[in-house]
A = this chain, B = another copy of it.
Amino acid sequence: MILVLKPGSTRQELDHILDRVRQLGLRAHLSEGEQRTIIGLIGDETKLHGEPLAALPGVEQVLPILKPFKLASREFQRGDTVVMVGGVRVGGGFLAMIAGPCAVETESLLDEIAGAVKQAGANILRGGAFKPRTSPYSFQGLGQDGLRILEAVGQKHDMPVVTEVMDPRQVEMVSRHADMFQVGARNMQNFDLLRELGQTRKPVLLKRGMSATVKDLLMSAEYVLAEGNGNIVLCERGVRSFEDSTRNLLDLSAVPNIKGLSHLPIIADPSHATGRPDLIPAMSRAAIAAGSDGVHVEVHACPEEALSDGPQALLPSQYAAMMNEIRRVAKVMERSIDPPARARTM
């Protein structure tokens, strides 16, 4: 950490700052320039979390030089993490092809969709039982009934299943039915929920918040990691912007950016990011070409009757066509796609 002092800072202020630095167990390295005095802090910077050095009189700026996340960083772990979702590998060259409806509606409908997406090449089935809806008057999901349907359909098709958890009180119940938890964009900084999931050993699909920086996302992963659960798959799903012809703005640069900073797998969700089925195939190809460890796509057999987010879903036939393109791009990128399997048999 570097402290830059104000132009007119006094000797007394400087002495007070140096005292505080010593109290914190650090050494100060002073550089008196022509226009500014600079203090480099030497020692264990982790002691400084929460230390409001910017509030010291005479300090103009505090410039952090180390990254605030640790367990999530490439410096902590060089090699790629490979997360097992049921029997499907994600990361380290293996792609997660997650597909399914926004919400679980009925068993027969989910069964139809699962059969179709598996056939097309998906290896993980998704479906929401608890739905975070902007309006209290919208369909809120089937709750535990939805979880039971999802589990049954996953078993029937031998596909691992992922579903959203919104409340720490649901963790135990969701854990009994699903192979992977999803934390939605709106809950990326629901820290109590993250801690609760950190205490399980189930994989967590952690979606980037709509106003979260790449660093914020990695800090949220750090909450889960710090509790002992390293099975995290990150997901870029678009951020808020002024552009109004898409629902959000898919930040694909986050993919190589995070690959450089972290060992955790990262996938992309073009369905929620764009909200437009006509853009999903192109953005899925682009995601894989950018180095993404998979894509998360909403598929519905009858979008016009979907109870949630129908207009952004692909039809099963559109998904199958897209998967044909994805496979060609994946080959160029030298990526493999594990077949779906609830439990892995080597």
Contact = CB atoms under 8 A, between A and B. Distances in A.
A213 B209 CA distance: 15
A245 interface: yes
A282 B290 contact: yes
Interface string A258-283: 00100000000010011010110011
A138 interface: yes
Contacts of A135: 49, 68-69, 219, 222
Interface in A146-187: 166-169, 186-187
Contacts of A240: 211, 240, 242
A321 B36 CA distance: 31
Question: Most chain-B CB neighbours within 10 Å: which of A190, A276, A308?
Answer: A190
A66 B242 contact: no
Contacts of A279: 253, 256-257
A310 interface: yes
Contact of A43 (B34, B54, B282): B34
26 contacts: A7-B75, A29-B38, A35-B45, A52-B305, A52-B310, A55-B311, A57-B304, A68-B134, A68-B135, A132-B191, A135-B222, A137-B222, A166-B190, A169-B169, A211-B240, A213-B243, A213-B245, A214-B243, A241-B251, A252-B283, A253-B270, A253-B282, A257-B279, A260-B278, A282-B291, A329-B329
